[in-house]
Structure 1
Amino acid sequence: MAGVKKNHACNLLRRPQLSVKQVSVECGFDSQNHFSAWFKNQTGQSPSAFRKSVSELMNQ
């Protein structure tokens, strides 16, 4: 289950038109802080850092 949620969060974070807050709500979290802590625990990166790394890869 956690893997599915992580993949869903990663897919949503690849969409720059969505805020991190919107992604956190879409993933079922009541607070952006809780989502950010969970995401960092799952991936080793904050949602913002993940989004930046994806953006940099897309621009190569």
Structure 2
Amino acid sequence: MSVLCHQRDRLGLMGVSTHTFRRTALTQMSSLEVSALQLDGAIAALISKFRSFSAVK
């Protein structure tokens, strides 16, 4: 269980997942006028982490 999921359950929050957390972070970065290059880097990092996590499972 991820740290985020553990805390979500501990606090009784509904609708919080690692997916929504990542999506919200990217949306906020876009709203804050983060450059396209920075946004691309963040997306690439998330994809890389997802692939390495998926390989472990």
TM value normalised by structure 1: 0.37
The answer to which structure has the higher helix fraction is 2
TM value normalised by structure 2: 0.39
- Return the structure number with greater relative CO, CA threshold 8 A, min gap 6: 1
